[in-house]
Amino acid sequence: MTTRSASAPKLLLAFYGDDFTGSTDAMEALALSGLRTVLFLAPPKPELLRDRFADVRCIGVAGTSRAMSPAEMEDHLPPIFRALRSAGAPIVHYKVCSTFDSSATVGSIGRVIDIARREFTEGRVISLLAGAPPLRRYTVFGNHFAAAGDRVYRLDRHPTMSRHPITPMDEPDLRVHLARQTDASISLMSIVDLEGSAAEVDARYAAKLEDKPHVLFFDVLDDARLQTAGRLIWEQGARGQHFSVGSSGVEYALTAHWRASGMAEKGTASFGRLEPVRQLLVVSGSCSPVTAAQIEWASHKGFDCIRAPAQDFVNPGAAESARRALFERAMKSLSAGESPLIYSASGPDDPSIGATRNRMAEHGQQSIDTGKLLGQQLGRLTRELLAASGLRRVVIAGGDTSSFATQELGLYGLEMTAPAAPGSPLCRAYSEESRFDRLEIALKGGQMGQVDFFGRVRGAL
């Protein structure tokens, strides 16, 4: 049972995720600390929280802004921020990917900061934290590092992120990266600033704030500094509702402080084991090498891997027939007792990526819309397959794909039920449609999970 300080507000944190996989990552960090957290697909109305989720300590809203242009963000985010502000949590967090995927034209984190300064902060500093040691993401003197396999790479040398098809990361210093997206001033609490006694750290922190930066960026190298950053962010919330930007490292930092102060469970909350299912549906729009290796593993472990012709999804007429063919092929696989795995690409060098971009250009569409295109079509296919087969467990792989595909299922909320891989838990879905209510779903980002991830979610390991 969660320990609760007498001074702690009922709702500790409200967050918005710029894609669905990142949102479940944040939810997992909170749930593992014993804080009941529900992720909604739209800002929940007060009566829903009061009547169905009265004991929830943290809420999230899963979004799609990682795939938006700055103009789209200007339309989409202000009402979201106002809704989160009205929830009354001391901390409001804009959750981004732990590899900081963004550019000046797509998923601009800088534009988020500009909107928050105008709509939310009233001149107060914005906390920014990207590192997340539990996910092997680290920030040192402003430079960001992320693991791939057994190695940790500087972001501009990362085998996936340096070659991301939409937002390739060519600058490891996140202050420089952000300066391409916003004119906001950015100060840094480095690993050296976060070292020492609480009084020493507080003095350095106060000195940084005296210069009145718009954004204060935290290095994160280890658990000790993570907890210190969490304390400083929470203390800002105690002075008045505080806006933060960053990865699920924000949740890991806050929960580390809350555990230390008795506001959350010590250690890790227990969840039931992941019960096996005979068949699992997997759909993937990811082009990361991690997902490619997972698909290859699955092809030898009882999954029927079915390639989706992504380029055919561009034309509405061809999309319908392509989806129908995939539906029939997957249903045949299910009838044979297999687990269908439908994928659009196998790694960043898959020829289908270029073919889809070329087809989109022929139809006057931009390549930045690829995630939305794949997500919507694969989401409709997923809905049709689940309705026809009665399957109760599904995996959707790919950050943007998960964001748009989940919307096609008509869900309104998700809650963690069992760990599967760090950042990609198995969740219970909430829906007004009985056939999708309590559906078991795992959303997997491109970089998440071990090579046997799909087998783990099936529960066969």
pLDDT digits (tens, 9 = 90+) for 222-248: 999 999 999 999 999 999 999 999 999
Question: Is the pLDDT reported for residue 174 higher than 90?
Answer: yes
Q: Are residues 168 and 290 in the same domain?
A: no
Q: Which of 422, 446, 423 is nearest to 346 (CA)?
A: 446
How far, CA to CA in Å, does 388 sit from each of 63, 278, 309, 326, 412?
28, 17, 22, 13, 21
User: In this structure, what CATH number is given to the domain that contains residue 212?
Assistant: 3.40.50.10840
How far apart CA 162 and CA 91 sit, in angstroms, is: 32
Question: Is the pLDDT reported for residue 3 higher than 60?
Answer: no
Question: Is the pLDDT reported for residue 4 higher than 70?
Answer: no
**Which residue has better confidence, 220 or 363?**
220
Q: How many domains does the chain have?
A: 2
User: In this structure, what CATH number is given to the domain that contains residue 406?
Assistant: 3.40.980.20
**Predicted structure pTM score:** 0.87
Q: Are residues 428 and 352 in the same domain?
A: yes
Q: Are residues 291 and 417 in the same domain?
A: yes
pLDDT of residue 311: 85
Q: pLDDT (tens digit, 9 = 90+) per residue, 99-137? A: 999 999 999 999 999 999 998 888 899 999 999 999 899
In a domain, 100, yes or no: yes
For 1, the enclosing helix (H) or strand (E) is: none
In a domain, 274, yes or no: no
Q: Are residues 247 and 285 in the same domain?
A: no
In a domain, 116, yes or no: yes
Q: pLDDT (tens digit, 9 = 90+) per residue, 401-434? A: 887 888 888 899 999 999 888 888 999 999 999 8
How far apart CA 455 and CA 295 sit, in angstroms, is: 10
Of 261, 290, 305, the last residue of a domain is: 261
Residue 121 DSSP class: I
How far apart CA 337 and CA 116 sit, in angstroms, is: 50
In a domain, 248, yes or no: yes
Of 214, 231, 261, the last residue of a domain is: 261
Question: Is the pLDDT reported for residue 461 higher than 60?
Answer: no
Q: Are residues 320 and 452 in the same domain?
A: yes
For the chain, what is the mean pLDDT?
A: 90
Q: Are residues 76 and 192 in the same domain?
A: yes
Q: Are residues 324 and 226 in the same domain?
A: no
Burial 139-172 (b: 16+ CB within 10 A, else e): beebbbbbebeeeebbbbebebbeebbbbebebb
In a domain, 93, yes or no: yes
Of 261, 291, 306, the last residue of a domain is: 261
Q: Are residues 92 and 210 in the same domain?
A: yes
Q: Which domain holds residue 133?
A: 13-261
How far apart CA 92 and CA 461 sit, in angstroms, is: 38
- The dihedral sign for the CA sequence 402, 403, 407, 413: positive
Q: pLDDT (tens digit, 9 = 90+) per residue, 179-216? A: 999 999 999 999 999 999 999 999 999 999 999 999 99
pLDDT of residue 270: 74
In a domain, 378, yes or no: yes
Residue 75: band (very low, low, confident or very high) from pLDDT cuts 50, 70, 90: very high
pLDDT of residue 241: 95
Residue 2: band (very low, low, confident or very high) from pLDDT cuts 50, 70, 90: very low
Joined together, the tokens standing for residue 10 give 């009922």
In a domain, 168, yes or no: yes
Q: Which of 165-169, 377-381, 418-422 has the lowest mean pLDDT?
A: 165-169
Q: Are residues 161 and 219 in the same domain?
A: yes
In a domain, 273, yes or no: no
Supply the Cα-derived Rg of the chain in whole angstroms.
Answer: 21
Cross-strand pairs, 243: 92
Helix (H, G, I), strand (E, B) or coil at 391: coil
Residue 1: band (very low, low, confident or very high) from pLDDT cuts 50, 70, 90: very low
pLDDT of residue 8: 64
Q: Are residues 376 and 254 in the same domain?
A: no
Give the residue ranges of DSSP H helices in 265-315: 289-299
Question: Is the pLDDT reported for residue 5 higher than 60?
Answer: no
Q: Are residues 51 and 144 in the same domain?
A: yes
Q: Are residues 257 and 289 in the same domain?
A: no
